[in-house]
Every structure is written in C-alpha cells, then in structure tokens.
Amino acid sequence: MSSVRLAWAAALVFAVALFPLPWYAGRSTAALFLLHDRPWLWPGLACLAAAAVTALVVPRSGRWLVALAGAALVLLLLQGIAIGLPTTTWPIAAALFGTGIGQPAFGLGAASAIVAATLLIALGFARARAFNADTTVALIAVAGGISLGLFVFLPLLRVLLDVFVEAGRFSVAVALDRLAAAEAWGLACLAGGVRCGVVWNTLLLATLTGVLSTLLGLALALLETRGGLARTGVFRALAVLPLITPPFVVSLSLIVLFGRTGIVTTILWELFDIPRTRWIYGLPGVLLAQVLSQTPIAFLLLSAGLRAIAPSLEEAAATMGARPARVFATVTLPLLRPALANAALLGFVESLGDFGNPLVLGGEFDVLATRIFFAIAGARHEPGRAAALAILLLGLTLGAFWLQERWVGRRQYTTIAGKGDAGIPAPLPVGLHRLVSALAWPWAAFTAIVYAIILFGAFVHDIGRFDLTFTWRHFIEGFAIERSDFGLHFRGAAWDSLFTTLEVAAISAPITAFVGILLAWLFARTSFRGKSTLEFVTLLTFAIPGTVVGVAYVTAFNVPPLEITGTGLILILCFVFRNMPVGVRGGLAALAQIDRSLDEASATMGADAATTLRRVVLPLLRPAIVAALAYAFVQAMTAVSAVIFLVSARHNMATVYIVGRVEAGEISLAIAYSSVLIVLMLVVILVIDRVVGAARLGRRTAAPLLRVGA
Amino acid sequence: MLTRRFVVAAAALVSAATAALPARAQGELVVYCTVQEEWCRPMMAAFERATGIRVSMTRRSSGETLTQIRAERANPRGDVWWGGTGDPHLQAAEEGLTEEYRSPNLALLHPWAVRQAEQSGFRTVGIYAGALGYSYNSRELERRRISAPRCWADLLRPEFRGEVQMADPNTSGTAYTMLATIVQLKGEEQAFEYLRALHRNINQYTRSGAAPARAVATGETLVGITFLHDAVTQKVAGAPVQIVAPCEGTGYEIGSMSIIKGARNLDNAKRFYDWALTAEAQAIGATARAYQIPSNREAPIPPEAPRFEDIKLIDYDFARWGSAAERTRLLQRWDREVRAAAR
C-alpha cells in the first residue's frame, strides 16, 4: 500500500471514529457530541487529530507521526482504565476531573480510534525508514505488536503476578517458596515413596507423547506420500480423525475398550484368564489418548514437509548411485529436520497443555494442567499456587522451543528454488516401507476401532454398561427440531451451543490462519528491531495452559475499557491469539524451504512487499495455510480448558456442554453430541482441503514404471 | 480465490447460526446453574412460563462457578446462582460476593434450609439436601461372594482391597463432606486413623464427586463413596447398584441458592429466588431424575429418593467445617497423612 493511501485510510478511520460511530459500547452517541463534557477524551483525540493532519500534509513526518499517534494510543487507553464503570478507578482521575464520573467500555468509535492510531504509527515507522521502509511490513508488525500486547501480554501478566500475592500482600519469598514446592519437584517416587513431583510427571508424559506421536506421524506421512498407495484420500481422512475429536471422547472410548469392565479386558479375561486391572487409569491411558490425538498433527506437518522437499536432490543422489536407503538417510531425513522438530515440539507442548485426557484417564497421575485447573476451580481457591504452577509449565514449554531451535539450528533447508523443480520423489527403501506399514496400518486400524466405538455408542442406550439396545434417544434429546405455524424450532438441548460453536469457529479460523501466516512471513523474511520480542510474545499464548488463559481473559476483559466478557468476541479473540502460533510455526517451517531468491526476483522486478506476498509467497504456502486453517477451526471446535470460564449464558460452547454431560455421568449424550461434532468437522476439513488445495509443486507425477526398488 | 470461497462458506454458516437465535423478550435474568443440565433446563423453562422473564442459563460445576463469580466481582454478569453443594455458597457469602435477601417464602422451608440461611447472614438459602453414603455393584459383589457392606467400618475389610473409590477432597465438595463427616463422627485423631486404613483399600481418588457412582455402575470399582442421590440416578437408569446409608451415621449436603452481589436484574433475581422456594418449583427435580430432598416442606419427595427418616444423620456443623481456615487445615492434614502414605 502506498504511503499516501495509508494516510488517507487512517484519516478516514479517525473521522468515522468521531462521527457517526458510537464511542461507547451499548450507547449510540458519537464522540463528537460527547466532547463538551468529557475533557479526559481531549488529549488523546487531539494527538490523534494532529497525527492524522501531519500524515496528510507533511510527507517526511516519520518520527513525529510515531510520537503523536503513539501518545494518542496510550492516552486513550489510560483514560479508559482510569475512569471506569461505575466511577473512577484511579485516584488521579478523580483529582483531575472530579469524583462521581464514570464511563462505559469502548465501543466501535473508540475501537476505530485505536485502529487509526495503529495505522498512523505504522505509517510513521515506514516514513522513518524503519521496517525496510515498506508500509505493508510496518503495518503487519505494528498491528501485530499492539494486538499481541493488548490480548496476550497484559492479561497474562495480570494473572501471573498473582504468584507474588499472599493474602493481599506482595512478597518475593512467597513466590520463591511456591516455585520450589515439593509438590512440583519432589522425587519421592524414586526413593520408594508414592508420588513424584508433578513437574516430573508432566515432563515424562510430554516427552513420550512428543516422540511417539512424531514417529507414528512420520510412518503415516511416509506411507501416504511415498508408499505408492492408490487411495490416500481414505487413508488421510482416517489418519485425521483423532485430530477432530472433542476432548474426553478418545478417553471415554478407551475406557469402554480397556477399562476394567471394558470390551477388550473382558474378552482377555474370559478367554485367557488375564486378570482385569486398572492399568488404563494413569500414565499409560493418558499417553495412549494423547498419542492418538497428537499423531495426526505430526502426520499433517510431516506430510506437508515431505511434499515441500523438491525431488531434485534425491534424484541427484540416486543418479550418483546411492541406494534408496542411503538417499533416505542422508538426503530426505536431514531435509525433514525442521518438520520433525516441529512435530515433536507440538506433540510435547500439546501434551503439556492437555487437560481433558488427564482429567478423565489420569487416575492419580497428576499433570500440571489439571493441577492448575483445580488450584483455581477446586475446593481450595489458590490463585498464587496456580500462578506458580503455570510459570513452571511455561518454563517447560519455552525450554522445548529453545531445544527445538538448537536442534534445527541455522542450517539451510531450502530445496524449492526458482530454478525449476521438476522431478519425482524418491520411493521408500523396501525395509523402511515394511517398517512404516507395520506401524501405520495397525495404528490406523486401532484408530478406526476407537471411532467405531464412539459412533456405535451414540446409537445405543449405554455403551459403558453394555446396554446395547438401539436408540435414537440421545439424538432426539440433543437435536430435536419441532415444526409449528411459526416455522422451525430448535428444541434440542444441544442446538444453542452448537450454533455458537460453529459461528465462533467459522469466524476465528480464517483470521487465525491469515494472521499466523502473515506473521510467519514477517519473522522469516524481514528484519527489524524488536522482532525477537514479538516472536516470543506470539508463542506465549500457545505455551500457557488453556485454564490460565481463560482466567486471564475473564479477569482482564470483564471491566471497561475492554469489556468483552460474556460476548462471542472474547471467544473469537481467545481462539485467534491462542491458535495463531500454530499458523506461525507452520508458516515458518514452510518458508524455511522456499528460497529467498524468489522474493528477491519479485522485488527486483518492481513488486512491493504486499504484491510479493500475495503473488509469490502465499501460493507456495498452500499446505501450511491448509494446516493452519484446519487446525484453527478444529481447535475452536474442540478446545475446552480455555473456554470453560469464557462461555456465558448466551454464548455456550459445545465442548463445555459436553464436559457438563460427562460430569453428570450422561456419557451417552456426550458421545452422541461428540459424534455429531466429529462428522461436522470432517466435512469442514475435507472442504478446506479441497477448496484451498494441496501444493502442486512438482510438474510430473510418478509414473508406475519408475518405481525403483519395488 | 481460495480465501474468498472460504469466507463465503463461513458467512453462510454464520448466517445459518444467527438466524436460529430466538427473539429476546422484555425482562431478563442470568442464572448460573450448578446442578445437572437436565434439571437446570426444565427449571428455567418453568420460570419463563410462570413469569414471562427470559432466562439465560449457564451450567457449570460449583468450583468453576465460584471462580467465575470471583473473577467478575467488579462487574457481575450473573444474577442468581442456583444449586450446587452449600460450601461454595457459604464461601461466597464469607467473601461478600453474594447479596443478603430474606425471602417471604423462608417460612415454607425445612429447618435445615433456614439454618443455612441464618448461618450465612441470609446471603444463601437451602434448596435441597442429600445424604452422603456409598453404593456398591451388587452383580460383581455376588460374583465374588462378598457379603454386602452396611457401615463405614465395612469398607476397611480386606476383600475390598483396591476396590473402593472416592473423590479427592481437594477437588470435590462431595469428598470434603465425607472427610468432615468422618471427623465429626469419630473425632479427628480416630478419623485420620480410619482414613489411613481406608486409603489402603482405595483404588483411585477421582477429581469429580459423582465419578465414583458412575464407576460403580459400570463395574470399574466395587464400592464408590458419593452422595446417595448420584447413586440413585445410576440405579434408576438400570445399573446393578445397591445404595448404602452407613450404619454409624452420615453427613449431608445442603444444595443452596444465592443472589450475586451487584446483580443487574435484581428484581427479577428476587422473583426467581422466591419462586424457586415454592413447592411447585421444587417438584421439578423429581421429574428431572434428581433425587435430592426438596427444602420446601410441601414439595413432594421423589419416591426413589433416599428418605432422611431412614438415614442416621449426624448434626453436621456447616459453619465450622465450611470455613476457609478449617477446610485448609483439614485438607493439608489429609494430604500429608493420608494421601502421601504408601498403600
């Protein structure tokens, strides 16, 4: 976007912020008619007006613009915080403007003013020749930075500071005490005691989940992309199933299969006299459930990574006489390192934050995520302890990111260059083909059984007790529709939450994917001061467990100026900022494989950053976009721990409803509702996959006669 | 363009979803409901029918609801908190999160419900009661030829080794009620001796209070310590479950209701409060498979509900054992002496 156009856009947004948009939420008066008796609005709006005029009149106004618009942003936010509802919250505001004044939360007008300030700051930076003097880059970075600050950094800071607070007083000793507690770090289990610290439990579980899900995902991805299978579509759909499952459901199905009175357990007991135990409750059960749900994510990432490897290097190795096994070990696998590291990292981090499976299957095996939840919502309310545990969890996650960074290192993984990349991928070595088949097929079969149980359970009275009489009861209870003279009535208990969930997921997923990929491009292709800070904050919400995010949001956004608790907006924001890091990481991994010379060629031919992004980078990022879209949509449909405090009477989410059902022991309706969600998500994922499409990077397809080594 | 097509699809979904939203009526009320969903819904529907006030209801567990009310303290969203075990309601009253209100219908209630109101300075009131106890899976017990347990002491028998399930008192109000009950029955030292012995027979401390009832129904465990009405729900659903009110005597919970301080629809909240104490409103529980004892003296008791007359109830001191200080002390002692012990 040109500098002049951006200036006009900012001025226009500022104008509508003054009139006709209502300044406050829930009122209809525009700012223009409020100014006469609200002097606290003057400084911010004056700065903003000055900035807008400067932008239009003075073309070389970089630093002044940043200072004026930045001041406007800060002043507007401060007055909103200082003068709240019903009265002033800061003493200084009362001293300046008198007591007894109050104002509601920001509405559309105030939001527009903040947007205008953001645009002007970005413009100022671009004119001051920061951000490569490119307005697009400046806009993405500034808008990203401001929204991350408002919706990630501030709420989290607010909650994590609780670690210092004991009975209303601030104390560093208390914080240190909490962080070093034996509950977290104890090693009693090694010395013959009962329980080990919850940090060790979490670490063990997450490591196992990360490694196992990456190995299985690799097997599935290899088989799908290079196994010479005729129908990979079916295979892909089956492999993706666990990804689209609401929490608890895999666990419920595992209990039906392997619980003490489970199907498999009973068969083993009756046929082979194997004693019935409760092995599923604890580490093995949680691990199984997590690997079941993580493998597909690893599969998607590794599959995208494998597809993005241009075959020319493998062909070169083969031409020079390397055998398939050697090509795989010395060319393919090393090129896959970023994707492998990403898959393992995601498995590890998702396991750290997983709340649903440990809740249902954990037994006495406690992990940090459940501890935090019960420290906040349990019989004892201990926000300080919860904050300490959350900091430990955050430390583990950041440690994982650091390790991944070390392992992937600064090497070159670029294989798709601008020099034409014809070729066909190398087939799998025979031994490896056998190995991945031996891993992938049983796993796929197991997944199929787990899902068969879920679907089957929806249509019988009570699968947990083997009451297998066929019934529509659960669906009628949840999804009944009545017809009357006034039209259709959605009478079923589940409709409200289903509609809200679909709405929130459909709005948040494209935003998440779009913003995530843009930021990935920003991080990978541009350099500016503060980039690493921005990158760090981006990853922060992902690292923080959902429960903490939920409490942070409800505390920070329940009062003016940003009062969005109880609305659908808070759910959307939560999902966007929580899931965006996955889009960023996916985009980064994909960008690492696309040569910069393509961007440079585009720039040399006179395209600006926006055009390069639109015409060169985004089309090459298709697999990453698909993954981000699918992930964001699915997460919005299945997340539970983050939203459990954010849902409200009018905006309830499907998962929270299902959790309530599970709590009440109404497992059949929970299973029926889950199966509806699974079918819905399956449809959506397939549509995304079809519409956005897979990458078409190679020009030739594998001809059958070229199957070397088969 | 790919994104454009997706946006069109998304917009279609959104419009389908918003088109289905019902129209809004004049008066409004926001209720946080903490009993099971299938009881919450008919309650709210009946209130809407009786008054024309539109109710928005959120169902969550008591702990989550208390967390929510605390977080919203500066700017409350809810009007009434209806249902759920009494301790969190008393805690909310202690923290000043709820509003004092003396309903004219207090006179219609059982004495235990009124006592709950008096103890909290009329910031909460009892709406139902349920006794603590345990249930066992009669089919599995028969198969193993184990004689039926009748008392708390029976749960220490060696044949129940690894076969008793209860919730973790740190996370579940049910289990905390059990802990406080045993302490009141036996005195603190003996109570902890009992709990340590019981610990050897426990296979798992679940997080949710109703989970052991479900585990008994499916045969995952032989015995589960729960509120009796949770076990009745399983029994009525056809599970081979027998319900025991222990012979030594047992404690109980008083399900409560509070008006949230700063409620935006205070008048409607009071109307709901009064209405929820009537016999007619309290009769709804029985039709929703909730087998607690209603607090209105005239409300019909569901025939399946465990009668208080048949149960030896202790004189449960809610004020003492519900206080934050005593609770923290008991739970810490339990953590140290029971939970951390070897089996």
User: Could you write out the DSSP letters of every residue in A579-645?
Assistant: HHHHHHHHHHHHHTTB-HHHHHHHHHTT--HHHHIIIIIHHHTHHHHHHHHHHHHHHHHH--TTTTT
User: Cα dihedral angle (B188, B191, B193, B197), rounded to 10 degrees?
Assistant: -160
**CA pair distance B258, B5, nearest whole angstrom:** 49
Burial class (CB in 10 A: 0-12, 13-18, 19+), A576: buried
User: A128-156: string of b/e by CB count within 10 Å (b at 16+)?
Assistant: bebbeebbbbbbbbbbbbbbbebbbbebb
What pLDDT digit, counting tens, does each position of B164-196 carry? 999 888 878 889 999 999 999 999 999 999 999
Res. A231 pLDDT band, cuts 50 70 90 = low
- The pLDDT value given to residue A411: 59
**CA pair distance A222, A504, nearest whole angstrom:** 35
CB contact under 8 A, A648 and B56: yes
A619 touches chain B (CB under 8 A): no
CA-nearest of A93, A116, A108, A3 to A41 is A93
A364 touches chain B (CB under 8 A): yes
CA-nearest of B232, B256, B227 to B128 is B256
Taking the CA of residue B40 and the nearest CA in chain A, the distance in Å comes to 11
CB contact under 8 A, A691 and B5: yes
Cα–Cα separations (whole angstroms), residue B216 to A423, B96, B225, B240: 61, 39, 9, 9
Return the number of other C-beta atoms located less than 10 Å from residue A441's C-beta. 14
A490 touches chain B (CB under 8 A): yes
A657 touches chain B (CB under 8 A): yes
Query: Which helix (H) or strand (E) is B66 found in, with range?
Result: helix B62-71
What are the structure tokens assigned to B6, written together? 């997706």
- The pLDDT value given to residue A423: 62
Read off the DSSP letter of residue A483.
Answer: E
Name the H helices within B156-249: 173-186, 188-201, 211-218, 228-236
Residue A498 has pLDDT above 80, yes or no: yes
Q: Which single residue is written with the structure tokens 């240190």?
A: A176
Instruction: Assess contact for A524 and A587: CB atoms under 8 A.
Output: yes
**CA pair distance A174, A179, nearest whole angstrom:** 9
Residue A312 CA from chain centroid, whole number: 34
B6 touches chain A (CB under 8 A): yes
User: Cα dihedral angle (A552, A553, A559, A560), rounded to 10 degrees?
Assistant: 120
ipTM: 0.72
SS3 of A70-116: HHHHHHHHHHHHHECCCCECCHHHHHHHCCCCCCCCECHHHHHHHHH
Residue A620 CA from chain centroid, whole number: 22
What pLDDT digit, counting tens, does each position of A252-293 carry? 888 888 888 788 888 888 888 777 778 888 889 999 999 988
Tens of pLDDT along chain B (343 residues) come to: 344 444 444 444 444 444 333 434 458 899 999 887 778 888 998 998 888 888 888 877 787 788 888 878 877 889 999 998 888 899 899 889 999 999 999 999 999 899 899 989 999 999 999 999 999 999 989 988 999 999 999 999 999 998 999 988 887 888 999 999 999 999 999 999 999 999 999 988 887 788 899 889 888 899 999 999 989 988 888 889 999 999 999 999 999 999 999 998 999 999 999 999 999 999 998 888 888 999 999 998 888 888 888 889 898 888 888 888 888 899 889 988 998 787 7
Chain A residues inside the 8 Å CB shell of B342: 193-194
CB contact under 8 A, B77 and A692: no
Q: Hey, where are the domains in chain A?
A: 3-129, 165-710
A377 touches chain B (CB under 8 A): yes
Lowest mean pLDDT segment, chosen from A34-38, A88-92, A189-193: A189-193
CA-nearest of A508, A531, A509, A518 to A621 is A518
Lowest mean pLDDT segment, chosen from A73-87, A515-529, B68-82, B181-195: A73-87
**CA pair distance A21, A23, nearest whole angstrom:** 6
Res. A664 pLDDT band, cuts 50 70 90 = low
**CA pair distance B294, B197, nearest whole angstrom:** 35
Chain A residues inside the 8 Å CB shell of B220: 255, 259-261, 278
**CA pair distance B233, B36, nearest whole angstrom:** 11
Share of chain A above pLDDT 70, in %: 88
**CA pair distance B250, B327, nearest whole angstrom:** 19
* Interfacial B residues in 135-194 facing A (CB < 8 Å): 169-173, 176
CB contact under 8 A, A661 and B41: no
A652 touches chain B (CB under 8 A): yes
B17 touches chain A (CB under 8 A): yes
Chain A residues inside the 8 Å CB shell of B171: 374, 378-379
* Interfacial B residues in 307-336 facing A (CB < 8 Å): 327-328, 331
| Bridge partner residues of B205 (DSSP) | B166
Highest mean pLDDT among A42-46, A189-193, B49-53: A42-46
Residue A596 has pLDDT above 70, yes or no: yes
If you average pLDDT over residues A633-649, what whole number do you get? 81
Number of Cβ pairs < 8 A linking chain A and chain B? 174
Instruction: Assess contact for B36 and B290: CB atoms under 8 A.
Output: yes
Cα–Cα separations (whole angstroms), residue A412 to A106, A329, A407, A420, B47: 47, 17, 13, 18, 67
B9 touches chain A (CB under 8 A): yes
**CA pair distance B37, B53, nearest whole angstrom:** 20
Highest mean pLDDT among A103-107, A404-408, A494-498, A501-505: A501-505
Share of chain A above pLDDT 90, in %: 15
- The pLDDT value given to residue B3: 42
A102 touches chain B (CB under 8 A): no
What pLDDT digit, counting tens, does each position of A540-591 carry? 767 677 877 887 887 788 777 888 877 889 999 999 998 888 788 788 888 8
- The pLDDT value given to residue A420: 53
User: Cα dihedral angle (A300, A301, A307, A313), rounded to 10 degrees?
Assistant: -150
For the segment(s) A165-710, the CATH number from 3.90.580.10, 3.40.50.720, 1.10.3720.10, 3.90.25.10 is 1.10.3720.10
Smallest Cβ–Cβ distance between B234 and the set A85, A644, A665 belongs to A665
For the segment(s) B131-252+322-339, the CATH number from 3.40.630.10, 3.40.190.10, 3.30.56.10, 3.30.230.10 is 3.40.190.10
Q: Which residues contact A82 (CB under 8 A, 6 or more apart)?
A: A40, A88, A89, A90, A92, A93
What pLDDT digit, counting tens, does each position of A318-361 carry? 888 888 888 888 888 888 888 888 888 888 888 888 888 887 78
If you average pLDDT over residues A18-40, what whole number do you get? 85
**CA pair distance B242, A392, nearest whole angstrom:** 45
- The pLDDT value given to residue B12: 45
Coil, strand, or helix at residue B32?
Answer: strand
Nearest CA in chain B to A374: B171
- Stretch(es) of chain B classified as CATH 3.40.190.10: 26-129+253-305, 131-252+322-339
Coil, strand, or helix at residue A43?
Answer: helix
| Bridge partner residues of B82 (DSSP) | B33, B257
- The pLDDT value given to residue A648: 73
What pLDDT digit, counting tens, does each position of B272-282 carry? 999 999 999 99
User: Cα dihedral angle (A554, A497, A541, A302), rounded to 10 degrees?
Assistant: 180
Q: What are phi and psi of A461, to 5 degrees?
A: -55, -55
If you average pLDDT over residues A385-392, what whole number do you get? 86
B118 touches chain A (CB under 8 A): no
Round the CA-based radius of gyration of chain A to a whole number and report it: 27
What are the structure tokens assigned to B173, written together? 């109000």
Task: Tell me whether strands B54-59 and B28-33 are parallel, antiparallel or unpaired.
Answer: parallel
What pLDDT digit, counting tens, does each position of A119-161 carry? 999 999 999 888 888 888 899 999 999 999 889 888 888 888 8
Taking the domain B26-129+253-305, which CATH number applies?
3.40.190.10
